[in-house]
């Protein structure tokens, strides 16, 4: 009998957003209708990849763009990304500052691998996007969450952030616009984080995947505000460009004083060992960036109505309260009876699923400290579907008063 030893780093991996699907699948086998409001995938609902992007992919394949491409990414795509960052975010980077990845998740993995050794710490907003926690642990590091204040629209607490910087800190992560809270960080707050990073000589990782899905206030990129503080930008095509399953993203290095040069070289080595990102999809990425952009505004307008509806309905339910999201397509409500009626937020989410078929993600899956007692709700579906799902939630809450 072969004795196969599985490593601890793999055995302990968690990803709450998809882990909860295991419970939903079991329930679906009984014939229960499931409302999948756990994954932020607009293409799974009534949003579709733009026709010119689909056509570009088919054309690329037909014309023979099927070989390996440069590990750092096609030059024409990196140039298009450079132009997009200047046009959309007023960030000045060159094609040489960019590495193309298989989605932003691969970018997170690569940067974490280059930054984190055993015992090192990375500062993350609490709650946070789970892969930051998982990859920090995977490479032997310690994820440390800093408080974002729910009563202040989930804005980061600068005092709490400062108190958690140590000699082991290797980076400060900003997720803005934010997943899971839908927060849009105030410009002054981002500047204060940058000032802290500069004071302690720590690089900033800025995840800006939702940079074009904003509702009222203007988004300002971290790199635009950074001046001489080095910023590692992470972005991609899944959300605004409706290319979730295409898996295309990028890392960029905004580094006016060359402080990230060795880190960039090491990430380039990582890019080489995975060979390259999907070549024909990169060709389609060029079309996504250089082609018509009007659909993004139309998508945001549809989402604004769904945001308003979901936020209003949830706040009207006794025992639920939530801040109004200013960006992305998530709302992160507090469940008042967690710790009383329900032992944990996961207990609440699973009981809600079992009774109603509505699948949310427990907030502690985004951070056991600052996410606890909450759930993340995706408001991507049409209002008719949201109405059905939230009617179920409302009945559930009434039955459990």
CATH of residue 383's domain is 3.90.1150.10
Are 267 and 135 in contact by the 8 Å Cβ rule? The answer is: no
Assess whether 222 and 370 both reside in one domain: no
Q: Is the pLDDT of residue 13 over 80?
A: no
**Is residue 54 a part of any domain in this protein?**
no
Under 8 Å between Cβ of 244 and 267: no
Contact 39, 64 (CB under 8 A): no
Q: Is pLDDT above 70 for 74?
A: yes
Domain final position from 289, 305, 320? 289
**Average pLDDT of the residues in 153-168:** 97
pLDDT single digits (tens) 303-340: 999 999 999 999 999 999 999 999 999 999 999 987 78
Show which of 289, 310, 328 is a domain's final residue.
289
Same domain, 311 and 268: no
Q: Is residue 55 part of a domain?
A: no
Residue 306 lies in a domain: yes
Same domain, 105 and 225: yes
Shared-domain flag, residues 28 and 174 = no
Determine the Cα–Cα distance for residues 38 and 51; give it in Å rounded to an integer.
Answer: 27
Q: The domain containing residue 177 runs over which residues?
A: 68-289
Same domain, 85 and 176: yes
Give the strand pairing for 169-175 and 155-156: unpaired
Longest pairwise C-alpha distance within the chain? 62
Q: Is residue 272 part of a domain?
A: yes
Q: Do 305 and 283 fall into the same domain? A: no
Please say if the pLDDT value at position 31 is more than 70.
Answer: yes
* CATH code of residue 115: 3.40.640.10
How many distinct structural domains can be found in the chain? 2
Residues 283 and 313 in one domain: no
Give domain status of residue 36, yes or no: yes
Q: What pLDDT does 7 receive?
A: 83
Give the pLDDT confidence score for residue 294 in this predicted structure. 95
State mean pLDDT over 344-349: 92
Tokens of 82: 């450079």
pLDDT at residue 104 tops 90: yes
């Amino acid at each position: 009998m072969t004795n196969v030893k599985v490593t601890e780093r793999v055995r302990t991996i968690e990803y709450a957003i998809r882990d909860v699907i295991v419970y939903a699948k079991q329930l679906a086998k009984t014939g229960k209708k499931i409302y999948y409001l756990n994954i932020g995938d607009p293409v799974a609902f009534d949003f579709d990849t733009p026709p010119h992007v689909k056509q570009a992919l088919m054309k690329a394949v037909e014309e023979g763009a099927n070989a390996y491409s440069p590990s750092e990414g096609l030059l024409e795509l990196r140039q298009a990304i450079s132009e997009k960052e200047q046009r959309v975010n007023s960030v000045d980077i060159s094609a040489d500052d960019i590495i193309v990845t298989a989605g932003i998740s691969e970018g997170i993995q690569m940067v974490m691998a280059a930054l984190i050794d055993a015992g090192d710490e990375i500062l993350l907003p609490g709650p946070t996007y789970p892969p930051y926690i998982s990859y920090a642990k995977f490479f032997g590091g310690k994820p440390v969450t800093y408080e974002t204040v729910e009563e202040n629209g989930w804005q980061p607490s600068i005092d709490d952030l400062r108190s958690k910087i140590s000699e082991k800190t290797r980076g400060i992560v900003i997720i803005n616009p934010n997943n899971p809270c839908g927060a849009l960080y105030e410009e002054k707050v981002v500047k204060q984080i940058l000032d802290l990073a500069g004071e302690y000589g720590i690089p900033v990782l800025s995840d800006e995947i939702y940079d074009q899905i904003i509702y009222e206030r203007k988004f300002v990129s971290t790199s635009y505000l950074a001046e001489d503080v080095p910023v590692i930008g992470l972005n991609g095509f899944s959300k605004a460009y409706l290319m979730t399953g295409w898996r295309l993203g990028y890392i960029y290095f905004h580094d006016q004083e060359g402080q990230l040069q060795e880190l960039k070289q090491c990430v380039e080595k990582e890019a080489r060992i995975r060979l390259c990102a999907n070549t024909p999809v990169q060709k389609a990425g060029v079309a996504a960036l250089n082609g018509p952009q009007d659909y993004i505004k139309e998508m945001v307008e549809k989402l604004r109505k769904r945001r308003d509806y979901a936020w209003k309905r949830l706040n009207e339910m006794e025992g639920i309260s939530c801040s109004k999201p200013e960006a992305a397509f998530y709302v992160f409500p507090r469940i008042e009876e967690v710790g009383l009626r329900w032992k944990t937020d996961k207990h609440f989410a699973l009981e809600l699923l079992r009774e109603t078929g509505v699948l949310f993600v427990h907030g502690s899956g985004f951070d056991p400290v600052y996410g606890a007692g909450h759930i993340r709700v995706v408001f991507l579906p049409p209002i008719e579907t949201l109405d059905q799902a939230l009617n179920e939630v409302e009945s559930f809450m009434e039955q459990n008063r």
